[in-house]
Chain A
Amino acid sequence: MMQKLLFTICLSTAGFAAQAQVDTVRATTLPPAQVAEKYYNSGVAKFNQKSYQAALQDFDQAIKTKADFGKAYYNRAATRYELKQYGPAVQDYNQAIQLEPTSFTAWYGRAQAKQALGENDGAEQDYGKTAELKPDYAPAWYYRGDLRFEKGDYQAALADFTAAIKADPKYAYAYHDRGSAQRQLGNYAAAVQDYSEALRLQPELEVALLNRAAAKRRQNDAKGALADYNAYLGHHTDNPVAYLGRGQARFEAGDYKAAADDFSKALELKPGYALALNNRAAAKLKLEDFKGAEADATAAIQQNAQYAEAYLNRGHIREMLRNPAGACADWRKAADLGIEAGKSYAAASGCE
């Protein structure tokens, strides 16, 4: 279709339509000026060299020259996406979709751009359309699954991840995220299994170790969890989140001293890490270092004035520091911030 079109343009532009018979066969394959295509191809080359700004200018020229150049709109959208110009990217994808409504890639691209804009509902729909146009394109299912996961619709997310795995049985990310959906649904054994499969398919996807550890913790498999954290930390000693996780596992295993050490390590890597401060406060409470615990909880609250858990914990700490007024105020604040237990703690402790 396109080829024929080009041929026609070529003849009319060159002005040989009438004399085609004398211009030999070779002449019939001749292209038109193809200025738009030249710009377009130059844009593609520049895009591939990551010269996005220059690529953008080329695609601009291509579109200027040829207003119905669908691929140019599409690629300009992709370029704008790279330049984080998500709004204009969506505009271009709109044009591309209008010109080529069955191009699944345009739907997919627009989904990504909408997602980047935070228009998750629109993105979800576009991923859905992509999956409809091309059911064997696993990323469409996968990313829709992620959006549904983030909405808290874990069951629907689970179904999408399963569809992604069906489309691409070696899709480690889809296994990983399905593991997470299982975990959110309370199916820890299934979660552990999916994380393990993700790791088997893609051993470098080590975030799966951390998540598998967390799932094992919820299975009360402290030993297994610690093994995963240790495996992860054997490779990455610079991730405060991993130390935070292992600290939790150690805490749950009753090893408060080692837990506090891990939280300290997390804080070394990420000074002012509010979660680590809060957790270390909890460990110090257990270790009966009440003053140190209070200082940590206070520091966590300084980092995040809405940190309900830190208020709750500081309430416990202040109770032990014989500061009932302070404890009551903290429990109440925790309750105000959404931890209901704060109220009952205050009531049980005779707060007035």
Chain B
Amino acid sequence: MILWNLFCSFALIGCFAFGGGYAIVSLIQNEVVSKQGWLTISEFINIIAVSESTPGPIAVNTATYVGYKIAGIIGAATATFALLLPPFIIVIALAIILRRHRKNPRLQQAFWGMRPVIIALILNAAFILGAQALLSPWAIAAAVLALVLLIFVKINPILLIFIYGAAGVIIGLM
């Protein structure tokens, strides 16, 4: 029964999870903390902290963690699957529609208008994250150095992530 409830709650979240990571997190909070009472607010904040600092989309991580907390590994799998199912179906439907109407001039005009908006959306994400992550002059310098390495040295992004992570561990030891 708890698994079915988990499935329904996270499938519902999946249907309305527009707007990326943090928007989804507030939906999850409403459902899991306020409505179902599965977690206290302080437990929920701990989960967000863990989800933020681990790889993967924050919403998916939160679902996995909440599911695990409530019903173990099967709960984790159920919540994650439920969260991803509605968007999976919607994205496939969009892919089919777009493949059929790719040459439609109206659609191409719409994409012409949307492309710069997407770039703005990405920059906006960088602003939001930068406001939290770049609090010291050192952090800002580190971010600028990373950007230089990416654009001019063409460093592999995965390598960059591990170099910065290792630097964090070394500084932490000092």
* A pairs with B: no
Residues of A participating in the B interface, judged by any CB pair closer than 8 Å: none
Q: Which residues of B contact A (CB under 8 A)?
A: none
